[in-house]
Structure 1
C-alpha cells in the first residue's frame, strides 16, 4: 500500500521563492543602513548598471574587463561631481586640528569618493550577476 506524501513534500518549489523574498528583504534593509553619502551615490550607480545591462552585456562575462569597470566607475564619478553638492563641506566645517588631525589627513586620500563608487558598483554588479545566474538556473 502506498502512503501519500504531504503537499509540502510533493511540491517544494514555493520554498525556493520564499528564500528569494527573504534575501531581497534583507538586502533592502542593509541598503537602508548605508551612510548618507552612499545613499546619495546609489541612484547614480543603479542608473549606470541599468544602462549597461543587457543579455550580452560585459557585466555578465565570467571575468568582466577591468578597464570597462573603471570606465563605468569614471562615468558615475563625473556625474556625481557634476550634479551633487560638494561632499567635503562637512569636513571643512569641523576642521581637524592637532597632530591627530594631520595624521588623519595623511591617511585619508583625496579620491575617497571614487573608492566608494568602485565598491558600490562592484557590489551592485555582484547582486545583478547572482540574480541573473539564479534566473537561468533550471529546476528539475
Structure 2
C-alpha cells in the first residue's frame, strides 16, 4: 500500500504493507526491520570462507571489548591512528595462530644470500654513483588489508545499530 503525508517539508511517499497507527506500532515495525537486517547480515557472514570467518570472529571479539560509552569507535570521526592500532593488534593476535603466519620478506632473501634492501655493489670502474635509491615503502600484507576492511565494516554496523543510523 502506498500512502503519502504532507509535512512542512513537502510531500513524502512511503511504500509499506503496514502503516503504523501508534508510536508502539512504529517501534514494533522498526524492531522487525532491524531483526530482518541482522538475519540478512548473519546469512552473508555465513558465506565467508573459513579463514575469513576466523578473522571476523576475532574482530567481533575486539569490537565487543571496545563497545562502551565514550569509546573512540563512537566518535563522530573515529581517529585513524586508533583504528590502525586496533587493526595491528588484531593481526598480532591472529599471527600467533600457525594458519595466519606470514614469511617475512627478509627471510625470503636470506636464503638466496642477497639482501633485499641493499643496492647492488658499484661497478669497479667509472664515475662514482649518486646516493643509493630510497627503500621501498613497507607494503601491507593481505591479512592487514582484510582486517582493516572487516574492522571498519563491523564498527560502521555497530554505530548504525546503536544510534539507529543517526551519528
TM-score (norm 1): 0.70
Task: State the structure with more CA Rg.
Answer: 2
Map of 1:117 onto structure 2? 147
Among 7, 18, 24, the alignment partner of 2:38 is 24
User: Relative contact order (C-alpha < 8 Å, sep 6+): which is higher?
Assistant: 1
**Superposition CA RMSD, Å:** 2.4
Unaligned runs of 5+ in 2: 1-18, 103-138
Deviation at 1:48, TM superposition (A): 1.1
* Partner Cα distance (1:114, 1:8) in 2: 45
* Partner Cα distance (1:131, 1:8) in 2: 21
Deviation at 1:37, TM superposition (A): 1.6
Structure with bigger strand share is 2
Where 2:21 maps in the other structure, the secondary structure is helix
Quickly say closer, same or farther: Cα 1:62–1:84, change in 2 above 3 A: farther
Query: Is it true that 1:77 corresponds to 2:91 in the alignment?
Result: yes
Query: Mapping of 1:1-140 within 5 angstroms?
Result: 9-10=21-22, 11-86=25-100, 111-134=141-164
| Segments ≥4 residues shifted beyond 4 Å | none
Quickly say closer, same or farther: Cα 1:52–1:84, change in 2 above 3 A: farther
* Partner Cα distance (1:82, 1:116) in 2: 17
Quickly say closer, same or farther: Cα 1:87–1:12, change in 2 above 3 A: same
Q: Are the aligned partners of 2:94 and 2:100 in contact in 1 as well (CA < 8 Å)?
A: no
Unaligned runs of 5+ in 1: 1-6, 89-108
Structure with bigger helix share is 1
TM-score (norm 2): 0.60
Quickly say closer, same or farther: Cα 1:8–1:59, change in 2 above 3 A: closer
